[in-house]
């Protein structure tokens, strides 16, 4: 299942427009904050499909019968661009366990690249709900490699993939490379094109650099 949040008019699209805006991108603090706010919106939307249980809550004046979340998900992200998005979801799922994955593009002399997975720090995920976030789903290679790495910690009950922007090619890669039986993809918008260097068009550029400064390759 694919849920494209930006299809419906909401303040989400204002935050996404600011992320894309080349002039506003010069303010890295605002860029990070918009990613965080978008993460909060994704968390709220995902919360609607999680499991709930009835609980009696004692108030100063009596007892309220409430439906509350039956458990917290495991939140995972890909360093470093995913950190603000991850923090936004952690603001809402504040009791969640967390996983962090180091994955990067390794280029050769012809500017072709493969995805290298360096590091996975994760709790056990067996029969838990896993939410993996990364701002950009370009070729899909990072998401696929990261999920294969984290699945070594167990088989989740359900996997939610959260991306601010996705390409058509990246979505096809996920469908081709992963079992999508218990998987949901949440995206802000789907863009059609990739450049020769596999950047999404119109996209927004390099989310990691915009959030934390340019890196030296």
The boundaries of the domain holding residue 167 are 2-48+72-212
Q: Would 36 be classed as within a structural domain?
A: yes
Q: Would 202 be classed as within a structural domain?
A: yes
pLDDT tens profile 29-86? 999 999 999 999 999 999 999 999 999 999 999 999 999 999 999 999 998 899 999 9
pLDDT at residue 123, rounded to an integer = 93
CATH of the domain at 171: 3.40.50.2020
Mean pLDDT over each residue of the chain, to the nearest integer: 91
* Mean pLDDT in residue range 121-125: 92
pLDDT tens profile 16-31? 999 999 999 999 999 9
Q: Would 63 be classed as within a structural domain?
A: no
pLDDT of 110 > 60? The answer is: no
pLDDT at residue 106, rounded to an integer = 61
Q: Would 62 be classed as within a structural domain?
A: no
Buried residues in 200-216 as b, exposed as e (16+ CB within 10 A)? beebbbebbebbeeeee
Query: What is the total count of domains within the chain?
Result: 1
Q: Would 56 be classed as within a structural domain?
A: no
Q: Would 83 be classed as within a structural domain?
A: yes
Q: Would 57 be classed as within a structural domain?
A: no
Q: Would 25 be classed as within a structural domain?
A: yes
Q: Indicate whether this model's pTM tops 0.85.
A: yes
Question: What is the distance between the alpha carbons of residues 124 and 51, in angstroms, rounded to a whole number?
Answer: 19
| All residues at 6 or more sequence positions from 14 whose CB lies less than 8 Å from its CB, including other chains | none
């Amino acid at each position: 299942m694919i849920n494209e949040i930006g299809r419906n008019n909401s303040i989400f699209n204002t935050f996404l427009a600011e992320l894309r805006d080349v002039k506003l991108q010069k303010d890295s603090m605002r860029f990070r904050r918009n990613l965080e706010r978008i993460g909060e919106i994704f968390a709220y939307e995902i919360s609607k499909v999680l499991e709930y249980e009835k609980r009696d809550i004692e108030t100063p004046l009596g007892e309220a019968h409430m439906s509350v979340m039956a458990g917290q998900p495991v939140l995972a992200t890909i360093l470093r661009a995913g950190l603000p998005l991850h923090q936004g979801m952690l603001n809402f799922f504040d009791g969640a366990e967390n996983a962090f994955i180091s994955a990067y593009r390794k280029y050769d002399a012809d500017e072709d690249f493969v995805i290298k997975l360096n590091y996975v720090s994760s709790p056990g995920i067996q029969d838990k709900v896993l939410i993996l976030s990364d701002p950009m789903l370009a070729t899909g290679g990072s998401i696929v490699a990261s999920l294969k790495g984290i699945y070594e910690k167990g088989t989740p009950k359900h996997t939610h993939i959260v991306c601010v922007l996705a390409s058509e090619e990246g979505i096809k890669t996920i469908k081709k490379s992963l079992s999508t039986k218990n998987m949901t993809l949440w995206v802000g918008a789907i863009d059609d094109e990739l450049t020769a260097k596999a950047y999404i068009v119109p996209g927004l550029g390099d989310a990691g650099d915009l959030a934390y400064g340019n890196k030296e390759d």
